[in-house]
Amino acid sequence: MKRLAQLSAADLEEHLVWRYHAGVSGDVDAHVEPADKSSLAEDDDDVFTAATRFVLADGSEWSGYCSPQESSGLDYVIPVVLTESGPNPLWFEVAPSREAESEWWRRFGRNRDAVFPIAWECLVPVDGAIVRGVVDWVDGFSLGAT
């Protein structure tokens, strides 16, 4: 097992699906372990994180992950882009501080027009369908799904 925060693009290339184990403090201390699965189902008993491809507005492609089993909203899927400097989530339960927002932009190393909108697509089907979406800049540092 490894901490979710330590999941890398190389890990996701080796194993497309990871079983998620929530920590006491949520994602802060959550762990994942490789799962021998090539597809997922909404009614799976466990929660999984799966390899996801992201395309920024400038056309650059990035690796990351999401939890595609419940795709009714960004707050369930919680897509995360992996940057060289660390994970960049595309959804926040609570608006980030100015310092956290600055760090988020620093990880991308691009301006807003080069980043948004961000198209994403899970590489693992759920009930035979590919889960995908677009995240756009909404207002200030709020991120929203379309």
Asked if pLDDT for residue 142 goes beyond 60, the answer is no
66 class by beta-carbon count within 10 Å (0-12 exposed, 13-18 middle, 19+ buried): buried
Tokens representing 124 are: 């693992």
The sign of the dihedral angle between the CA atoms of 48, 70, 16, 81 is: negative
Residue given tokens 């999401």 in the structure block: 66
Give the pairing of strands 48-55 and 17-23.
Answer: antiparallel
pLDDT single digits (tens) 5-49: 999 999 999 999 999 998 776 566 899 999 999 999 999 999 999
pLDDT single digits (tens) 59-100: 999 999 999 999 988 889 999 999 999 999 998 888 888 898
Mean per-residue pLDDT of the chain: 90
pLDDT single digits (tens) 108-140: 999 989 999 999 999 999 999 999 999 987 655
**DSSP codes joined into one string, 123-135:** SS-BTTB--EEEE
Distance CA 41, CA 106 (A): 36
Q: Domain locations in the chain?
A: 2-145
Residue given tokens 């595309």 in the structure block: 90
